[in-house]
Structure 1
Amino acid sequence: MSKEHDVSDTIVLGAGMVGVSIAYHLAKRGRSVVLVDRREPGHETSFGNAGIIQREAVAPYAFPRDAKTLMQVVPNRRVDIRYRPSGMLESASALFRYWQNSAPGPYARIQPEYASLIALSTQEHAPMIEAAGADALVSRNGWLELYRTPEAFEARLAKVAPLAKQHGLTYDRLDRAALAEQEPDLASEIVGAILWRDSWTVADPGGLVAAYADAFKALGGKVVKASVESVEQGADDWRVATDAGPLQAAELVMAMGPWSGDWLGRLGYRLPLFVKRGYHMHYAMQEGHALNHWVMDAEVGYLLAPMRAGVRLTTGAELANRDAAPDLDQLDAAESVARKLVPLGARCDDTPWKGARPCTPDMKPVIGPAPAHKGLWFAFGHGHQGFTLGPATGRLLGELMDGETPAIDMAPFRADRF
């Protein structure tokens, strides 16, 4: 064994919410763990999300299948979804399988499997929040799903009621008067809202990931800020070359979010991954006005979150190549609508943030052992819910890696399901 290598039990590649949570759980189990990322923990995809730990998100985002919605998407002017032809072509096979899995039959099988993960979300965040001393970042007052038309509001409630009963969720139906008590500065076009009570909101998502990383280091974990140059399997170990020096460990966890596919290809895996990109911008509120809750303009497709850095507007999905140059039309369109919803002031950021959500065609993450490599573990593809599911993934992967029976059935999340 070369003395040049930094040797540990486990190397975790990727320091977003998922990777940091895995590193924390493995360190808590007594392993020596090295966490590697080219940026500081929480400064990539996890930095830019809407900051909701979505306990209510038991139904994953399906691909639209009705002709009316699809025809509305084609002109490429919607706020909730935009696309670029090059991105659609690159991911055509995965997107087609996504469309197939969104049909009623496959989706009915996928939804409860996905919900089994979501059920662990807040309960697994809670001890990590405590260990990280991060309670000041977290609010447990829920968030608001807003509706502009009675028809859409009632249709949504009809779907919500059985899901809430099945999965033990609590929510309030707010009419216009009740909503005005919660959010007096909302525009009068909003006819009602669902207040999701079980979900938590975070005033600084990247800050929470960084706090979790500090808790990991307090357990003896090591964070290496470096770019990965190569990943190789040895006779009984894994070796990772970085621009900060070589690393070596008995086991390796791939938790690099939308960059996981780059390295999977080099190891011979061709998993059907694709990305949904998103943007955010922070705003001041006009003097004398406030936004008290995280609010989603559900019929339009964007979210406003009153965070430490200002009111964060996060867009819907953009189907585009991961590294393509930004196209800010979607953000500008969302801002135009949002300014009519709440009294937003000036932009707070010099430039908008852009990120990419790592997705799979069956809407479920990949969590578990690599099919063809001993000591290699996968944890990626969480789509819109990596921030929500990081701690749950950390717990479950730790149980798998130590040969324990996981808290839920992990077969639906194996890499060999594709």
Structure 2
Amino acid sequence: MAELRADVLVLGAGMVGVGAALHLQKRGRDVTLIDRHDTAGEGTSFGNAGLIESASVFPYMFPRDFGQILRYALNRSPQVRYSISDLPAFLPWLVRYFLASSPERAMRSAMAELPLIRRSLIEHEALIAEANVPELLRRTGWIKLFRSDATLANAAHELERARQYGVAGEVLDAKAIAAREPNLTGDFAGAVYFPAPGFVPDPGGLAKAYAALFGRKGGRFFVGDARTLEQTGGRWRVATPEGAVTAREVVVAMGPWSDQVFGPLGYSIPLSVKRGYHLHLEPRGNAVLHHPVLDTDLGYLLAPMNSGIRLTTGVEFARRDAPPSPVQIERALPRAHALFPLGAPVDAQPWMGARPCLPDMLPVIGKAPRHAGLWFDFGHQHHGLTLGPATGRLLAEMMTGETPFADPGPFAAERFG
């Protein structure tokens, strides 16, 4: 079979990879997307809360409150669970995560990511318009519910801090919660409503819509195994069933599987995962959920997806490829049924995915330090859907010699030595 040639290979067709491919294509590059699935958006991008989190200034850092840490350690927190058998595998990474979460270092991470957060919805709106899928963006914002005065007071404090960076929000009392979501039932101290973030009722479908746009503009998509990547004769080569595909440059955008490429190439980047689960359920009767709603103190979220009401869990620390253990879904189900009129499950079983995370909760974006033509774009933690197009733009600007819209320094792979 004849060798297929391109300017750039992008490995990974999730939201991050497709975002990078579109921005490179826009700048005149002949781009080929390669993924292990035959369609885009089938991995991590398929399962999330559907939020384009343009109001999320502060990353999800390791807590500093002793009581909260103790609940995590005893596996008694609804927000976080860990697998005891996998503890030796991820404990060293957790230590690095804790150290990177000091107030000073956490603020550095927040300020580094802020330009990307501010650009996130703008980039999505442009691509959604170009892909002609306006139905995949709802401007509803979202709601964080609180069941105790203490957690509500802490959230109100965090909102005031975020307002310094342009975040809009409103503290709701019980009456205001009922006005926005009349079908919710519970004893709430209050809530915080964030009006600015966009909501995507089919995250996997949005990645597919972007991939279809990429194809209409001349981009090629192949099923292939990124682990076959090799550098020969100044070009990068990946095997596919249609034959080898080569390019001068390659982008690793494989989310939690990126280590399968950078590891064999000799890079020691502390990529780990936070696993999560979701399950779709039918609404009962005429009940309608108008916003994504996070039941903060009980550690789950409900979102009104096209496939039904999506129940998503918090974080599970376990090996990426360990068998599913949907304990958090089982614990959340009765709580969710008490919050909102839910009917039968739509899915045969819960979906499981893995969020790719670095200890400082910043992605790796930029040139690999020891290989010509190798670029990284992975580790977007909880914000792959949010940041994919924005980091794709940043990477494309770096690769084509434009002035980057944000300082790329904090995202360099070299920060890990």
Residue of structure 2 equivalent to 1:192: 190
Distance 1:100 1:284, change over 3 A: same
1:24-53 residue CA offsets vs partner (Å, 9 max, x unmatched): 111111111100001110111100111100
Residue of structure 2 equivalent to 1:233: 231
**Distance (whole Å) between structure 2 residues aligned to residue 48 and residue 245 of structure 1:** 31
Residue of structure 2 equivalent to 1:153: 152
**Distance (whole Å) between structure 1 residues aligned to residue 84 and residue 241 of structure 2:** 35
Uncovered stretches (5+) of structure 1, i.e. residues with no partner: none
Amino acid at match of 2:175: A
Give the TM-score taking structure 1 as reference length: 0.97
Residue of structure 2 equivalent to 1:50: 49
Q: CA deviation at 1:229?
A: 4.3
Residue of structure 2 equivalent to 1:217: 215
1:181-219 residue CA offsets vs partner (Å, 9 max, x unmatched): 110111131232111111000110000000000111111
Q: CA deviation at 1:302?
A: 1.2
State the Cα RMSD in Å: 1.2
Residue of structure 1 equivalent to 2:355: 357
Amino acid at match of 1:21: G
Asked whether the 8 Å contact 2:227–2:261 carries over to 1, the reply is no
Residue of structure 1 equivalent to 2:58: 59
Asked whether the 8 Å contact 2:139–2:198 carries over to 1, the reply is yes
Q: CA deviation at 1:415?
A: 0.5
Taking the TM superposition and a 5 Å limit, the aligned residue runs for 1:12-411 are 12-39=10-37, 40-164=39-163, 166-411=164-409
Asked whether the 8 Å contact 1:28–1:219 carries over to 2, the reply is no
SS at structure 1 position matched to 2:286: coil
Q: CA deviation at 1:401?
A: 0.1
Of stretches 345-354 and 73-82 in structure 1, the one that deviates more from structure 2 is: 73-82
SS at structure 1 position matched to 2:389: helix
Residue of structure 2 equivalent to 1:413: 411
Asked whether the 8 Å contact 2:7–2:248 carries over to 1, the reply is yes
Identity of aligned residues (%): 47
1:97-144 residue CA offsets vs partner (Å, 9 max, x unmatched): 110011122212222112222111101111101011111111012111
Asked whether the 8 Å contact 2:365–2:412 carries over to 1, the reply is yes
**Distance (whole Å) between structure 2 residues aligned to residue 247 and residue 86 of structure 1:** 40
**Distance (whole Å) between structure 1 residues aligned to residue 86 and residue 272 of structure 2:** 9
Q: Count matched residues.
A: 415
Q: CA deviation at 1:244?
A: 4.0
Amino acid at match of 1:227: D
**Distance (whole Å) between structure 1 residues aligned to residue 246 and residue 293 of structure 2:** 45
SS at structure 2 position matched to 1:290: coil
Amino acid at match of 1:88: L
Q: CA deviation at 1:78?
A: 2.6
Asked whether the 8 Å contact 2:274–2:318 carries over to 1, the reply is yes
Give the TM-score taking structure 2 as reference length: 0.97
**Distance (whole Å) between structure 1 residues aligned to residue 167 and residue 68 of structure 2:** 28
Asked whether the 8 Å contact 1:366–1:413 carries over to 2, the reply is yes
